[in-house]
Structure 1
């Protein structure tokens, strides 16, 4: 068996994990058990009992953790080599945390944790894309001012895509488009005519004749979209992740809701070509999401990431096409992709980079805003709530738009806010439309905007 190398450092990296009792937290905690030079020192979540059940399920003995109800108790637990399980973030012992991994997904709490960590000299690995989309620019600047690192966490698509971008640009390619697959594949069974998306099945027999792009790419994509129209394919999480990628790369959305073509991976270089070359793009340097179409038994894209690049020498790319690489039919574009995102399994890479100062992540700027466009007429006093697995808000759709003078309201600043006046369907919600916006996150957003592009 080939095993992980010996510990890379003499001092163990102490991690504070907020939003610990979730799928991301569990995958990270499981992976940390394999890494002797990192430890989950403090686990923060209001559901303390849930965290305890998770630790027990992961094989941590009862004497391996302590319920800490104060900063002193948390520090004492870490000093004793135990895990401090903390229900109130005010009880985090920042002196005993080298890196915060923020995974609450909740704008007020997560932003406050990140600010507190940086003000206490603790590096931040940001998993909560919701917070990143609103306050990431300001938090990154705050970290640099203090000589600290603020990094998007490997394992989620934004950081993975940024690593792919680094590779693609490093070898000299020009990028036409960047993106990821949606979280859930469309699995089509030609024998039954049924397409299944994460347990939701619909009849779509027309897909049987649409498994190749044919000569009319736009018509094929339109017909595929019509065949699966009863399925909800777009998610706020997708838009949020692509907005985060925009902050670090300057890429923009070709259309504000993104294209979401129903596509197979070997088609991506044809689909994400410029319109003049038969593709769907009106511009280049864009971010987008596609719905993965596959047959039963075929490998998934697994929410992975891709970059579309311009090719060069025809002979070179004929050789690469012959080796199975995805090259467009006209030979002008290629797709480079990583078909995975392993959540917390990968995050230790970012934790190590934060401590060692080895990350090559560029400084983010508010190149685009994840905004909210109303899907119906909304009356004054409407209260917005972030709900569900994908952290969506009823009554508005997430869209990626250019920043204005700071008037458009970021999608996740709507969390808990109330409309002060009626807003018509199809309108972008503005900050002037709202009252009760989270003040700390709003200040961070405005600070990020002030840094310019």
Structure 2
């Protein structure tokens, strides 16, 4: 039975999926825009550090003021309205709520929210993929131990890529490569919130109109977000990671199956079965026609002459040999699609992407020379960007996860372009985020020959 049909049945029975949202910024607002148009879903409460800003965003996406006037979560449940407040703990602890959508974009806080939700029997759709990138495998395990589902968010590119990989494998195709698109030139890794809009292709006025956060969007541009999302995909699918970071080969949609082949066959991959990101710009800055900048893709291989012939007979989009085929979605709609995850988790008990191993990591890398006393400002800031590395390599070097490089003081000189280690900074070791990361590292070190973390039934 389709998810939509099940949602309609829940609506008819008066038993909607009860949702709590933490964080009502840009991504959360996009989800909020769809909830009134989705049957069988009741947004019981929103927790945001600024309830007034959350209400303003609700009005921006078309909610009427009376829909958010519930004085408490209990009143919201009785009236069918939504409570807006600051108390995220009350939200995740309320026994009537089924699913928490973590939408803050703050990785350290997101870990707290996820762990507390698991403790209180709540499924979690984690939009904050920055947290998944540095401890997703262990978050998934802790969710399973609590008997709940932890999931990446549909609409964001990692879950969409996981969906394509699952399609390929379920059909019997070996996955050669999978990933997303990006607007990339090497110097973008040095971008700051002051330079982002010019590189990104928006005017400051457009950014202000959309309520866009320059630091967040700079994390998209400077390579941090592509590395974070590629990490989530590698850890969810078991795909491999380039040994020294993403290559960003430039390619049109037509050329993706050509470049996403192994090097020995004329492509860019070190081997088959890897994540990669396709650039929408040539190395000279020229925009590539019909690019995949906002989309996702998977390249598969015809292992027999018969399958190759089928590709040819049905005009499949292949490389010149006819063996490699790329399926793609040229767009993703971000928060407008999160309802797929909420419904899948609540109705089918299935995640739309979840970490099953520790293959990949994102290591904080200096944008400029850093001196003792400098304070790191995390994703999209002025000090560091995120570099994708194999987890084994990151673990061996003691790499500092980008998701934990927030408000952290540098204690040793670090050269521009150098990846930071734990020894380069003074960490706050009291946070749940730090502790779960170190716990995950210890588990990996105990069994380096097998990175897969068992999920308990």
TM-score tier, shorter chain, comes to: 0.7 to 0.9
3-state SS of paired residue (2:376): coil
1:424: Cα distance to partner? 3.3
> Which of 340, 343, 347 is residue 352 of structure 1 equivalent to?
343
Q: Does 1:400 align with 2:388?
A: yes
Tell me which of 322, 332, 357 is aligned to 1:331. Answer: 322
Change (3 A) 1:357 1:42: same
**What's the offset of the Cα at 1:319?**
4.8
For 1:318-377, what per-residue CA distance to the aligned partner results, in whole angstroms no more than 9, with x for missing partners? 553464422111223221222232222221121122223442656522212110222433
3-state DSSP of counterpart to 2:375: coil
Q: Is 1:30 matched with 2:33?
A: yes
SS of residue paired to 1:416? strand
For 1:108-123, list aligned pairs within 5 A: 108-123=108-123
Q: Following superposition of structure 1 onto structure 2, how do residues 37-436 of structure 1 map, counting pairs within 5 Å?
A: 37-66=40-69, 73-92=72-91, 94-182=94-182, 198-199=201-202, 234-292=222-280, 301=292, 303-314=294-305, 316-321=307-312, 323-359=314-350, 361=353, 363-386=355-378, 391-403=379-391, 404=395, 407-436=398-427
Which residue among 19, 23, 36 is the counterpart of 2:23? Answer: 19
CA distance in structure 1 between the aligned counterparts of 2:390 and 2:308, rounded to whole angstroms: 36
The structural deviation recorded for 1:269 is: 0.8
Gapped regions of structure 2 (runs ≥ 5): 186-197, 204-219, 445-450, 452-457
Query: How far does residue 289 in structure 1 lie from its aligned partner after superposition?
Result: 0.7
Deviations 1:186-233 (A, max 9, x none): xxxxxxxxx996248xxxxxxxxxxxxxxxxxxxxxxxxxxxxxxx96
Report what 1:215 is aligned to.
none
Gap runs ≥5 in structure 1: 186-194, 201-231
CA distance in 1, matches of 2:164, 2:367: 35
The alpha carbon displacement at 1:182 in A equals 1.3
Instruction: State how far apart, in whole Å, the 1-side matches of 2:30 and 2:329 are.
Output: 20
After superposition, give the CA deviation of every residue in 1:154-176 in whole Å (9 maximum; x if it has no partner).
Answer: 11111111111111011111111
Contact 1:379 1:421 in 2 (8 A): yes
1:297–1:450 distance in 2 versus 1, CA, 3 Å:
closer
For residues 276-306 of structure 1, give each alpha carbon's deviation from its aligned partner in whole angstroms, at most 9, with x where no partner exists. Answer: 2111122222111112359999766362211
User: Aligned residue pairs: how many?
Assistant: 401
Distance 1:394 1:297 in 2: 29
Q: What is the CA–CA distance in structure 2 between the aligned matches of 1:274 and 1:423, rounded to whole Å?
A: 34
Is residue 366–residue 449 contact of structure 1 (8 Å, CA) maintained in 2? no
Shift of the 184–324 alpha-carbon distance from structure 1 to 2, 3 Å rule, reads farther
Name which one, 1 or 2, has greater alpha-carbon Rg: 1
Cα offsets for 1:45-70 (capped at 9, x unmatched): 222222212222333322211375xx
Q: Pairwise CA RMSD of aligned residues?
A: 2.8
Q: Is the 8 A contact 1:275 1:281 kept in 2?
A: yes
SS of alignment partner, residue 303 of structure 2: coil
Task: Measure the CA separation in 2 of the matches of 1:15 and 1:184.
Answer: 37
Looking at secondary structure, tell me which structure has more strand per residue.
1
Aligned residue for 2:8? 7
